[in-house]
Structure 1
Amino acid sequence: MSKRRGLTPEDRELWSRVVRNTTPMHDKAKLPDPADPPRDHQPARPMPAPQPAATLPRGLRIGAASVGAKPHLHAPGPADALRAQPVRMDQKLHRQMSRGKLRPQARLDLHGMTLAEAGPELTAFIFSCHSGGLRLVLIITGKGSRAGDIGPLPTRPGALRHQVPHWLSSPPLSRVVQHVAPAHHRHGGTGAYYVYLRR
C-alpha cells in the first residue's frame, strides 16, 4: 500500500477558507484545521498467534463432505423450473400433453436466431396464434449444444432455451399464455416448449 501523502500548501489554504465559511450543523461539531499537525494513526493490533490445527477423526479427509451435510444444489434448468410450477390448465389435457399425445396446432422454430431476433418473432407468433383461436403451440429453441461457440449472450449456446420461458411468463405475452411446459421427446424434448394459450 502506498504511503499517504499530506496536503500541499495550496490544499491547506483552500481548506482553511472552507472551514472559515462553514457553519457547523451541531454545536459540538468541529472541522479539523489543516494547519494542525496530522494525528498519528493507531498502530495495528498484533495478529493472534496461529492455533495448532485440530486433529481430524480417523478416516475423515480434508475437503471430504461431513456426515449428514446437504449436497450442493445447482440452479434448476428451465425444464425443471417449469415442471415445478403449478399446472394452470385442465389436468387431463396436461397429462396428455406431457405424454406427447396432443398434437400442437402450430409451431415456431427459433433455431439459429439471436435473442434480439427471436424475441419479436416469438411475440408476433404467439399473438397471431391466439387471435386465430389456437390453444396448443410448440416453440422450438434447440438445446444449445453448438460446440465451440463462446460468443456474447445473444449467440451463446442455450440462451434461447433459458430466455423463452421468461418471455412467455412476462408481459405482454403473459396476458395470452396460460401454461408453459417442456415438450415431450417426440416433439423436441428439452429443446422445445409446449405453450397452452388462453381462450
Structure 2
Amino acid sequence: MKRPKQDHLTSEDRVLWSLVAKSTKPLRPKDVFAPEPDDGPAEKPASKQSKAPAAPTPGPEPKPTRKLYVGHRLDEPTLDKLSKGRLPIEGRVDLHGMTQDEAYSLLLSFLSRAHASGIRYVLVITGKGSSSKGEGVLRRSVPIWLTTPPFRLLVSSHDNAARHHGGGGAIYVRLRKVLPK
C-alpha cells in the first residue's frame, strides 16, 4: 500500500490541520530550545508620501550564552589510592539532616578552612536520601555546588567515594594547592 505524498493535501485536510495546530500548546518553555529565527512583524508597504525609512522594530535581545563549568573528576590512580587507603583523607564533613542552606554554608566554610590549612583530600558525606523513589537533595546538589565560582577557587576535582567510605552517599574532594605568598 502506497503512502500518499504529504505535499498534496486537500483543502479540507489543510483546514483541519491548521485547526489542530492552533489548538496545541508547547510542552516546555520556548527558551529551553534554540531560538527560532524571528522574521519580525510583516511590514506594510510604505506610502508614497513618506520616503523616510521606517525605524527597525527592536526584537527580543538574545540571551548571552553561558558556558556551563563541568568540574574535573579525580584521575583513576588517585581515586584508586583514596579508595584503598593509600592516600589519607585528611578531613570529613557530614551534611546529614541539614537543609540546603545550612549544608551549603557549612561546606563552604569547611572547605575554606581545609584549603587554608593545606589539606588536599577530604570526604563530604551527603547521604543517599531518605526516599526510595529518588536520590537525596544534597546528593544531587553538592556536586553542582562544587562547580560554582565560590567553590572553584578551592576545589580541584571531585568524584564519588568508594563503597566503604559511603559509596553514592559520599564524595571525595581534592582541594587546590595553597600557593606560596
Which TM-score applies when normalising by structure 1?
Answer: 0.50
Displacement of 1:106 in angstroms is: 0.7
Q: 1:184 to 1:157 in 2, by over 3 A?
A: closer
Q: 1:86 to 1:166 in 2, by over 3 A?
A: closer
1:27 Cα deviation (Å)? 1.9
Match of 1:198 in 2: 176
| Cα pair 2:72 2:156 within 8 Å, conserved | no
> Counterpart of 1:160 in structure 2: which amino acid?
L
**Structure 1 runs not aligned, ≥5 long:** 1-23, 29-81, 149-155
CA–CA separation in structure 2 for the residues paired with 1:183 and 1:158: 16
Query: After superposition, where does 1:112-123 map in structure 2 within 5 Å?
Result: 112-123=97-108
Q: Secondary structure at the match of 1:145?
A: coil
* 1:57-96 alignment, distance < 5 Å: 87=73, 92-96=77-81
Is 1:111 matched with 2:96? yes
- For residue 86 of structure 1, report the CA deviation from its aligned partner: 5.5
Mapped pair 1:126 → 2:111: yes
Counterpart in the other structure of 2:136 = 158
Q: Using a 3 Å threshold, how does the CA distance of structure 1 residues 143 and 175 change in structure 2: closer, same or farther?
A: same
Query: Does 1:138 find its partner at 2:123?
Result: yes
- SS of corresponding position for 1:172: helix
Of residues 79, 83, 87, the one that matches 1:102 is 87
Larger radius of gyration: 1
Q: Offset of 1:87 from its aligned partner?
A: 4.5
Instruction: Indicate yes or no: 2:166 matched with 1:188.
Output: yes
TM-score of the superposed pair, with normalisation by structure 2: 0.54
How far apart are the structure 1 equivalents of 2:73 and 2:124? 19
Residue 25 of structure 1: CA displacement? 8.2
Q: CA RMSD in A?
A: 2.8
